[in-house]
Structure 1
Amino acid sequence: MEFDFLPELPSSRLDDRSFDDLVEECLLRIPRYCPEWTDHNLSDPGITLVELFSWLTDQMLMRFNQVPRKNYVAFLELLGIRLQPPASAQARLTFYLSTNLLEDYTIPMGTEVATERTETQEAISFSTDRDLVIGQPQIKHILSAVGDSLQSLNDHTGEWQPQQSSLASNHEFMVFPQQPQPGHSFCLVFEPDALLEGNVLAIHFTGTQGTPTGIDPNHPPRRWEAWDGEAWINVLLQEADDTTNGFSFNEHKVEGRQSEPSGEVTLHLPECWAAQSFAAYRGRWLRCILTEPTAHQPGYSHPPRIRTMGLRAMGGSVQASQSVKVQDEPLGVSNGKPGQSFEIQTAPILERRVGEHLLVSPPGQPPEIWEEVEDFAESGPHDRHYLINSLEGTLQLGPLIREPQSLKRQTQARAYLQQVLPEERAPGQDLDAQMMEHQYGEIPPRGAELMFSYRTGGGKQGNVQARTLNFLKTTIPYVAQVTNHEAAVNGADAESLNQAVLRAPHLLRSHDRAVTAADFEALTLKGSGGAIARSKCLPTSANQPAGSVSICVIPQANTDLIDRGQGIAPETFNLNPALREQVMHYLDERRLLGVQLQLQQPNYVGVSVQAEVTLEPAYQNPVAQAEILHQIQVDLYRYLNPLTGGPERDGWPFGRPVYPSDIMALLQQRIGIQYLGAILLFPIQYNGQTWQRQTTPVPCIDPGPLGLLCSWADIHERTGHSVNVLTPQAVAMRA
């Protein structure tokens, strides 16, 4: 391990003799110790032995000079720096019920779902982080709004009458006003006390015959949203979940006769669906808002009409982490001695949660819950404390330490006791009481049984792809299927020694307190447990409140997708609520009073590169050409990436533009390329719903002061890179 990243202070070698110096020194000693040896040529067997032992001595000196590195690691241990364990990946699991239930149904916390086990790969298990309650939806108000502010609302609740589990009307109802315009919305307000957080809601609509709307049913200009307490978020997962096709209700026939058109909208409600009041209407808000039509997307010419509407909760989504629960694992029996250490069966160990602790059962007494601490510095002899090495999987009990001045104090105590008569001594005042040995942490009595509950898992292998978590490890009643509609994120491997060395200076500067910008950045990384790869404290702006600190974070992602030639999509770097809450809680305990914290995400800008290359004649065969083209794609995805990109390959710098010359310099390093043709850059922007690739190239792509560049492959959105191979004849014609 080389500490090239440390400050280059002058350091002396403990022994700076080289191999040549050792050989020369041996030759100089030959006339003194063996004067009859006169043949000093390389062919002499004695010289061969001298060179052999000089080489062995040189190897020992090289290892001897590594002692300062060992001391540096020992200093890290004295500072209490430990290697952080792997971070578990986070995924949102969606459970679908097999039937419509008439009362609330709970899927318990800790339900395990796994990927498919193959011949080459073990199944990866995820467990839910909390209980999932699938409730009974009840509509409180039915409204229509003209503007996005929801200050001008029209109440249509009286036009509907509840009929069993649905709301129905005896006449037609216009979803939007007579002349629908972008910004008009159809709002449903649910009862605020209903347990609907994270539920999958199915709304069945029945339309009217022959009502034209003027839209393209395959691309309706509308968006289904729910208010999560801070903003409106999209709850329609995909267009296929809306079989009404934007309330257009394509006519269909059943058994030779024309039936009443109907359809169903499946919405995935947010896990934080807060009750809110708009214009004196309080409840959980859901709306269908008209959006601005695009150039090839017609808007609504007439308002759609519906006759009936039914509701049902068909499932729910809950946050899950890549982990396996181990409950009450027996560690062994205490021998009553201090400093005991116990091996935990499965490592590494994830961060402990409520209910995950050490349970000590003394003989003939009820079990006791012990407390985990970071060190024994403040542990007394009667404190039930223990340490956990999460990476190695060991549990340590308190040691017995002899104090530095114990010998001197024992001599003084012995002299004092010799001068005092036994009957004059205070109760308990004897020689053993003055031994000056301190016990840090209580010792379990001899014969006590130790059991430990924990979770194991973590690592980048947990960043599984979407729709791969499909297998329940235990049967759950009424659950028909389970899946993850989005890829798992934030899984990270254990911290390396080099990373710990880099973290040490930040720890010494901040002293675990967030004051400066560098403190907030370092503590954000530490508080995430490795789940956040990069952090940047944003400069204070004019419109930012005084005393507020904004931190831009980039979570970890599975970089294996780059090697596959796919890149990493910006959605992979989204900050999930569980990780946000974890980091905010960690920083909240270390910030100054009055400081307001905000975690933000960068403004990602996509880059699509179109390049022309000519290969060397030796690489003109199809196999070599395909391999080089794949490597070029990998180079581009790795270079234009928030984690692995940039000139230093440690992540694309914030606010740095990309130019065609950057791509040219990158491709010139690839072996097999003889000539580079045109290099074109196409920016990819997010319009609120999808990513759109600009049709014309630009001279450079500037993400903005706090933006980041990203590249990924998507066939539908045409976000990937394109590399064309030119033949020598085509190059000659261009010349």
Structure 2
Amino acid sequence: MTIQIPVLDDRSFDQLVRETLARVPVHTPEWTNLNESDPGVTILELFAFLTENLLYRSNRIPEANRLKFLTMLGIALQPPSPGTGLITISNDKGPLAPPLAVPAGTEVRAGQVPFTTGVPMAVLPVSSAVYYKQPQTALDLATQNRYKLLYQTFLESDTDILTFYKPVSLDPPATGRPDPVVDLADQVNGTIDRSLWVALLAPKNADLDAVRRAIAGQSLSIGVYPATRTPGQVLPPQNTDTPAVDPGLVFEIAAPEPDTSGLSGPGIGVGPARYTRLPVTYAEAVLDRPGLVQVTLPPYEQLLLWAFDPEEEGTGDFPPRIDDAAVAARLVSWIRLRYQPTTAGTGTGSGTGSGCDCGCTGGDSAADNGSHTTLASLSAASDAPTGRITWAGVNATRAVQSVTVPSESVGIGKGTPFQTFTLARTPVLGDGAPHALTVEVQDIDGTWHTWSEIDDIYAAGPADAVFTLERATGLLTFGNGLAGLRPPRGAAIRASYSSGGGLQGQVAIGGISRSVVLPGGFAVTNPVPTWGAGDGESTADGESAVTRWLRHRDRLVTADDFRDLTRRTPGVDLGRVEVLPLFNPDHPGEPQNWAGMVTVLVIPRSDPLRPQTPQPDRQFLGAVCGWLDPRRLVTTELHVRGPEYQPIWVSVGIATLPGQVPSIVEQAVAKAVQAFLSPLTGGLPPTAADDGLIAPAASGTGWPLGVDVRPQDIEAVATRVAGVRYVDSVLIAMTDANGSVVSPVDSVPISGLRLPAATVTVASGPAPDPAGLTGGSQPAPPTQVPVPVVPDTC
């Protein structure tokens, strides 16, 4: 039974005035002038005003008690999360040498929203154009025979065959258009050689030899943005082995042999298609989430291009042919990003040696001499990367929505227990911030000592120099001498930190466009939208989380714990969470009793690309994984997935009441059926519980998992729409496992992570055949056809 909390008094100012004036004839009948101009009435209104304020404050006592209880439990409100993105800095008109050093902490802006770079980089005087070799399957036999004759001399043995492709430019994403995607693992429809080719281009009108000298031996920062659509992510059971970072791609540069004859000119080499693996100095798992890889370019003598014979350009392992003469004239060198499915790793790297046990991966980069560098990782593990890439570019770094506050004077120590100080800018960013929080206290001789942050001040010993921080409010709290040291009287205290967060950090493509730090001739932009920005948790949300926190204690044990904690994930707008214990999404047809395995289904509240069938993208799933990972048990294998939508077509025939406009009623029925089958607002009507009472309605929380779609349910929904006299018929069509349309069906089975994705049509009279809405059977998957290289000109 729910406890009813009494309201002390809910009377308003007007009610108090009316009740007071009503007592006047009883106690003072001689007082007859009760107009507002009477001084006595003015005194009564003053009394009502003061009483209303007193009642308001009294009624807030329970709220104050709940908030105080929240503070005592140590439940902090989730602060706003910052937006994160990849930016590129280009040297359009600046000097070629030396390269511009951009340290971590450099500020760039999207309007008035500040961002700070998180990884140092050097801006080289080159830009990039990205190409891939797309298999060509539309050649007729005559064309194939013609090119076979043309390129017959390139076959070295009888077992060699020609394969055809066309060079395609991987254009940057653009607002309002679907993101371009190339799958390096797909040699049928993606790339013929599992590679991306990055052409390093000199600035317009620049001397190519001077550009080669400027970039020789320098560090080049390459950004990669994988495709946002991914089936899900998995956190395997934790272990103590932390492998090194493997970006999942091999970075190689063109390595022709020097032309000893001297006839080719500077920067031109000869010989077969050879490539040198570039040494990697910093790496992140760029196939798993947006990230960076920094490589060291070879010396000037090895920055060469091939001098091609007729018909040789673009053949074999040579880079794709560039048909734009203006672009080809600016070409400095080629870098090949080659996909290796057997070594592709996951996670993100920091290059700092810090790591965790959440499935971090890593890799090494070896030069031709056998040397290599091992890099550490910090990440949430995911399913094996698929090789799907949306964007790649050079001179890239990461930017976080934040402002760096260096050496802020916090205050002067008083020597008292539990001293508190408030930082000037809030919220204070935590892990992943460009500038980690540093609090220093000055001792008697003027030496600054760094104190450490701790979650619970009472867990510290008397000699521990620690403090706690409420990131949302910026409140610093020091110990009492028994639990943590006390800053001595007169000691200066200073702090350095990063502050930022909020939905304003969600910036579209090209929104980050200026920086007061960059010199003239340099430009900054974000080629992909930022991600992860979100508002903080409200006080009301924090109050409602008290009972759930007492149940789960910030640890994932029961299904309710998974559900409650997933909903508190910062930086994402969750519309629905479902928890399936002992469920393996990779084996949906088998009996589900997988010990230690939990699957969490998450659906975003909105999806601009698919409003009716929202799907979480890669950043959304990564945020949920990163939030749940430190709270799960070490033996739990956690899968975080989006829904799998089952396409269905629903046709409803109705009869309308007299006086109703059929078209309006039909639209209302279609809207009601669509909402009924929605993954966010759908659901069945109330059902009878075992005790004979009516159970709570499932409507409004999304179509339930494991509940088949039946015509009878849709008929019940359509009948309840105003203006409907009766439902004539309901027909449903669906696709089977082979992609063929089956119509009509008695029901649509929904199992595992599947949810209906409905297309609804409503007509007056009998329901139309839903098979006519499907456009026929689904096209069969393409068959792999060997295709030869197809140059545009011969």
Equivalent position of 1:372 in the other structure: 453
Equivalent position of 1:586 in the other structure: 630
After TM superposition, the structure 1 = structure 2 runs for residues 496-511 of structure 1, keeping only pairs within 5 Å, are 496-511=538-553
1:470 corresponds, among 486, 497, 513, to 513
Equivalents in 1 of 2:323, 2:510: separation in Å? 32
Between 1:517-526 and 1:697-706, the stretch displaced more is 697-706
Cα distance, 1:571–1:93 mapped onto 2, change above 3 Å: farther
Cα shift at 1:474: 3.1
After TM superposition, the structure 1 = structure 2 runs for residues 381-392 of structure 1, keeping only pairs within 5 Å, are 381-392=462-473
Matched, 1:494 2:556: no
Q: Is the 8 A contact 1:644 1:652 kept in 2?
A: yes
Equivalents in 2 of 1:474, 1:357: separation in Å? 24
Equivalents in 1 of 2:648, 2:107: separation in Å? 38
Equivalent position of 2:641 in the other structure: 600
Which TM-score applies when normalising by structure 2? Answer: 0.49
Equivalents in 1 of 2:116, 2:471: separation in Å? 19
1:551 corresponds, among 600, 609, 618, to 600
Equivalents in 2 of 1:502, 1:443: separation in Å? 34
Matched, 1:127 2:99: no
Q: Is the 8 A contact 2:428 2:499 kept in 1?
A: yes
Q: Is the 8 A contact 1:574 1:601 kept in 2?
A: no
Equivalents in 2 of 1:288, 1:397: separation in Å? 49
Matched, 1:78 2:159: no
After TM superposition, the structure 1 = structure 2 runs for residues 251-262 of structure 1, keeping only pairs within 5 Å, are none
Equivalents in 2 of 1:127, 1:697: separation in Å? 57
Cα shift at 1:252: 7.0
RMSD in angstroms over aligned alpha carbons?
Answer: 7.1
The higher relative CO (CA closer than 8 Å, separation ≥ 6) is in 2
Matched, 1:90 2:84: yes
Equivalents in 2 of 1:343, 1:645: separation in Å? 46
Cα shift at 1:351: 2.0
Q: String of CA shifts for 1:428-477, please: whole Å, max 9, x gaps.
A: xxxxxxxxxx6442122233222212221111221222332233453289
Equivalents in 1 of 2:562, 2:747: separation in Å? 32
2:561 corresponds, among 498, 515, 519, to 519
Cα distance, 1:371–1:707 mapped onto 2, change above 3 Å: farther
Equivalents in 1 of 2:716, 2:505: separation in Å? 33
Aligned pair count reads 538
Cα distance, 1:661–1:271 mapped onto 2, change above 3 Å: farther
Q: What SS does the corresponding residue of 1:387 show, helix, strand or coil? A: strand
Cα shift at 1:391: 1.9
Unmatched 5+ stretches in structure 2? 127-132, 136-151, 166-185, 197-218, 226-250, 255-283, 292-312, 348-361, 373-383, 584-590, 653-669, 684-697, 763-794
Letter in 1 for 2:109: A
Q: What SS does the corresponding residue of 1:358 show, helix, strand or coil? A: strand
Letter in 2 for 1:330: S
Q: String of CA shifts for 1:562-603, please: whole Å, max 9, x gaps.
A: 9xxx9599576433686356325422xx41x42222322333
Equivalents in 2 of 1:519, 1:636: separation in Å? 33
Equivalent position of 1:630 in the other structure: none
Query: Looking at CA atoms only, which structure, 1 or 2, has the larger radius of gyration?
Result: 1
Q: What SS does the corresponding residue of 1:72 show, helix, strand or coil? A: helix
Equivalents in 1 of 2:418, 2:288: separation in Å? 55
Q: Is the 8 A contact 2:506 2:532 kept in 1?
A: yes
Letter in 2 for 1:514: L
Q: String of CA shifts for 1:353-381, please: whole Å, max 9, x gaps.
A: 57422122224243211112233222333
Letter in 1 for 2:412: V
Cα shift at 1:183: 5.5
Q: Is the 8 A contact 1:198 1:272 kept in 2?
A: no
1:362 corresponds, among 418, 438, 443, to 443
Letter in 1 for 2:535: D
Equivalent position of 1:346 in the other structure: 425
Equivalents in 2 of 1:665, 1:317: separation in Å? 58
Equivalent position of 2:109 in the other structure: 114
Q: Is the 8 A contact 1:374 1:387 kept in 2?
A: yes
Equivalents in 1 of 2:612, 2:101: separation in Å? 35
Cα shift at 1:70: 2.9
Cα shift at 1:493: 0.8
Q: String of CA shifts for 1:459-508, please: whole Å, max 9, x gaps.
A: 122122233223345328997653232x3233211111221122111110
Equivalents in 2 of 1:130, 1:636: separation in Å? 50
Q: Is the 8 A contact 2:221 2:396 kept in 1?
A: no
Matched, 1:187 2:268: no
Cα distance, 1:654–1:465 mapped onto 2, change above 3 Å: farther
Q: Percent identity?
A: 25
Equivalents in 1 of 2:599, 2:76: separation in Å? 28
Q: What SS does the corresponding residue of 1:8 show, helix, strand or coil? A: coil
Q: String of CA shifts for 1:677-698, please: whole Å, max 9, x gaps.
A: 99x999999xxxxxx9x9x999
Cα shift at 1:548: 1.7
Cα distance, 1:39–1:570 mapped onto 2, change above 3 Å: closer
1:324 corresponds, among 403, 412, 421, to 403
Q: What SS does the corresponding residue of 2:551 show, helix, strand or coil? A: helix
Cα shift at 1:609: 12
Letter in 1 for 2:447: P
Equivalents in 2 of 1:271, 1:114: separation in Å? 33
Letter in 2 for 1:127: T
2:618 corresponds, among 549, 557, 574, to 574
Cα shift at 1:722: 13
Q: Is the 8 A contact 2:436 2:498 kept in 1?
A: no
Cα distance, 1:379–1:477 mapped onto 2, change above 3 Å: farther
Equivalents in 1 of 2:539, 2:387: separation in Å? 52
Letter in 2 for 1:507: W
Q: String of CA shifts for 1:520-557, please: whole Å, max 9, x gaps.
A: 23333446476766543224333674212222334687
